[in-house]
Amino acid sequence: MVASDLPGVEELRLLSAGFEGVSPAEVLRWAQQRFGVRVAIGTSFQLSGLVLLHQAATVGLSLECFTIDTDLLFPESVEHRLEIERFFKLKVDVLRPAASPEEQARELGAELWQRQPDTCCTLRKVVPLQEKLKRLDAWITGLRRDQGESRHGVQILESYLFDPLRDHYVLKINPLASWTRDDVWKYVQTHQIPYNRLLDHGYRSIGCRPCTRPAGEGGNERAGRWTGFDKAECGLHTFMKAHV
């Protein structure tokens, strides 16, 4: 989306405020009508992503879905993705980093995540996402305000300058911004959507194997990520400059 197609900041704020309290399915329907094939759901199939896929299916939307496989995921997460493809009769676009973990270790040393997790996340997550976003105008996410301090300010619609050289903006659409963990958990159970079985073993937010620990109940949902580092985000939601 180039700047001339972008709603102005105030218009966007009003549009976003108008979506508060509206069902996620309606926000998704608007997204598909507005952006056609240039919008996609990006998800790692955690509870919020499952709600989005189910809401889209409920109203018959055929939104593209993509995910990032860092080649460092838990086997349970990979199996869960296949289960979700079967459940929703969906073909997920799986994005991968350029280098395998072994190639990365040869070039940058073993276990980069232990020494430079930001670099590791950039190479294995952010760069594949950037490649994908070159072909999109809007990216639907499962971000929720209750997921921790770094996400308290999430709005339903947020515009970001993606590529200044090409004047390319991306609208981030967060239909579940106001939902809570209880809301998404109840939704998944009510609709009997298959969930990642690691959630039954104390994990709350599930990322790469080396950087995810069980976090127990209560408190920050993302507390089990990057234990020992002052890091709460992998960079996927922080690398772009907000358009304000």
Positions marked catalytic: 234
CB of 32 to ligand SF4, least distance (A): 30
Q: Does 205 bind ligand SF4 (CB under 6 A)?
A: no
d(CA 20, CA 28): 13
Q: Does 128 bind ligand SF4 (CB under 6 A)?
A: no
Q: Does 208 bind ligand SF4 (CB under 6 A)?
A: yes
Q: Does 72 bind ligand SF4 (CB under 6 A)?
A: yes
Q: Does 117 bind ligand SF4 (CB under 6 A)?
A: yes
What are the structure tokens assigned to 33, written together?
Answer: 């009508």
* Closer to ligand SF4 by Cβ: residue 21 or 228: 228
* Strand ranges for the chain from DSSP E: 39-42, 64-68, 93-95, 138-140, 157-163, 168-173, 241-242
The binder of ligand SF4 chosen from 13, 83, 210, 220 (CB under 6 A): 210
Q: Could you give the angle at the alpha carbon of 198 between the alpha carbons of 234 and 179, nearest 5°?
A: 60
Q: Does 6 bind ligand SF4 (CB under 6 A)?
A: no
DSSP at 209: G
Q: Does 148 bind ligand SF4 (CB under 6 A)?
A: no
Contact 243, 161 (CB under 8 A): yes
CB of 6 to ligand SF4, least distance (A): 31
CB of 125 to ligand SF4, least distance (A): 5
d(CA 90, CA 92): 6
CB of 53 to ligand SF4, least distance (A): 23
Q: Is 29 exposed, middle or buried (0-12, 13-18, 19+ CB in 10 A)?
A: middle
The binder of ligand SF4 chosen from 31, 40, 56, 120 (CB under 6 A): 120
218 in helix, strand or coil? coil
The binder of ligand SF4 chosen from 42, 49, 207, 224 (CB under 6 A): 207
Q: Does 113 bind ligand SF4 (CB under 6 A)?
A: yes
d(CA 3, CA 159): 10
* Closer to ligand SF4 by Cβ: residue 49 or 175: 49
Contact 155, 27 (CB under 8 A): no
By the criterion CB under 6 A, which residues form the site for ligand SF4?
Answer: 70, 72, 113, 117, 120-121, 124-125, 207-208, 210-211, 234
